[in-house]
């Protein structure tokens, strides 16, 4: 078979490229298909030896950080509506973290159940555990809002049958209606200003928290990720000789029919 080598000047190549780009066919998608692929140990059956060797020193460094024990959980804690041990704990951490903005805890702490992605199991707590529970880069936001909008926020939480809260008590119905809400044991006054420590994701009105963007003031300190705040809390408790614990307090109660 004979081969032919053609040579073109830059001008000819440019003209050819222009013609190709101006005469491209129009395509229309007529069908799409997809399947679920399980990401499990079967993918490690035949690892690439060269890649493994290349990544080994980096893996060792990451493992030394992620497997570091930073505290001890007194009990296993999971999330769940209307109230749970894990959501109570994280909401408490947020409410107290507002001290770096307000000089004191916020009136209310709020975290969404959907942002808690794993169980905190009884026993040693590693950095990996905390990353598994709080994998997102959500950051602290301290909001100031009038009581009339705080009542609306309580309604938002009731519709979702509960979220992680601190500093407040809500009584809701099984079909997601608010019956009563208090802050620090006191009724909410429409014109009074209240502070809410939450995450930027919720402060933007996501997960149904549509009342939060109506805040009069919003302060989100740089670098204050929820994961970092929780890590700091665990290490501080550990340094004080305390285990990480939580309790159910009737923060959100569903009224029996």
DSSP 14-46: HHHHHHHHHTPPP-------------SGGGGSS
Would you state the pLDDT for residue 1? Answer: 46
> Does any domain span residue 24?
no
Pairwise CA distance, residues 83 & 178, whole Å: 15
Q: Which residues of the chain have pLDDT under 50?
A: 1-2, 4-8
Pairwise CA distance, residues 165 & 157, whole Å: 9
Instruction: Provide φ and ψ at 162, rounded to 5°.
Output: 115, 145
220 near 247, Cβ under 8 Å?
no
115 near 160, Cβ under 8 Å?
no
Give residue-wise pLDDT tens across range 85-107: 999 999 999 999 999 999 999 99
Are β-strands 168-172 and 164-166 bridged in parallel, bridged antiparallel, or unpaired? unpaired
User: Does residue 193 have a cis bond before it (omega within 30 degrees)?
Assistant: no
Would you state the pLDDT for residue 17? Answer: 56
> Does any domain span residue 125?
yes
Q: Which helix (H) or strand (E) holds 222?
A: none
> Does any domain span residue 26?
no
Q: Is 252 exposed, middle or buried (0-12, 13-18, 19+ CB in 10 A)?
A: buried
Domain that holds residue 126: 66-245
The dihedral through the CA atoms of 78, 123, 90, 247 has a sign that is positive
> Does any domain span residue 16?
no
Question: What angle, 0 to 180 degrees and rounded to 10, lies between the N-to-C axes of helices 226-239 and 85-97?
Answer: 90
Q: What is the count of structural domains for the chain?
A: 1
Q: Which helix (H) or strand (E) holds 174?
A: none
> Does any domain span residue 107?
yes
Instruction: CATH number of the domain at 130, please.
Output: 3.90.780.10
Which residue shows structure tokens 């963007």? 213
The dihedral through the CA atoms of 255, 198, 187, 167 has a sign that is positive
Would you state the pLDDT for residue 2? Answer: 45
Question: How many other β-carbons are positioned within 10 Å of the β-carbon of residue 48?
Answer: 9
> Does any domain span residue 129?
yes
| Residue 109 CB contacts under 8 Å (≥ 6 apart), including other chains | 91, 92, 93, 94, 95, 96, 98, 164, 165, 166, 167, 196, 197, 198
> Does any domain span residue 36?
no
> Does any domain span residue 150?
yes
């Amino acid at each position: 078979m004979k081969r032919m080598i053609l040579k073109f000047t830059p001008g000819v190549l440019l003209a050819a490229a222009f013609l190709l780009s101006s005469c491209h066919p129009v395509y229309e998608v007529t069908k799409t298909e997809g399947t679920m692929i399980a990401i499990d140990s079967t993918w490690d059956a035949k690892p690439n030896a060269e890649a493994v060797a290349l990544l080994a020193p980096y893996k060792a460094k990451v493992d030394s950080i992620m497997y570091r024990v930073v505290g001890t959980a007194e009990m296993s804690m999971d999330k769940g509506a209307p109230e749970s041990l894990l959501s109570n704990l994280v909401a408490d951490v947020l409410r107290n973290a507002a001290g770096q903005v307000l000089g004191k805890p916020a009136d209310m702490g709020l975290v969404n159940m959907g942002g808690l992605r794993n169980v905190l199991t009884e026993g040693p707590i590693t950095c990996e555990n905390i990353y598994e529970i709080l994998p997102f880069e959500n950051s602290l936001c301290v909001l100031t809002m009038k009581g009339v909008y705080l009542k609306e926020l309580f309604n938002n939480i009731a519709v979702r049958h509960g979220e992680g809260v601190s500093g407040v008590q809500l009584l809701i119905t099984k079909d997601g209606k608010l019956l009563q809400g208090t802050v620090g044991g006191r009724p909410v006054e429409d014109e009074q200003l209240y502070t809410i420590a939450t995450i930027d994701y919720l402060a933007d009105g996501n997960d149904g928290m549509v009342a939060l963007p109506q805040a009069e003031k919003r302060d989100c300190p740089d670098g204050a990720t929820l994961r970092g705040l929780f890590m700091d809390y665990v290490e501080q408790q550990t340094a004080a000789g305390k285990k990480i614990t939580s309790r159910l307090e009737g923060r959100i109660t569903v009224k029996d029919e």
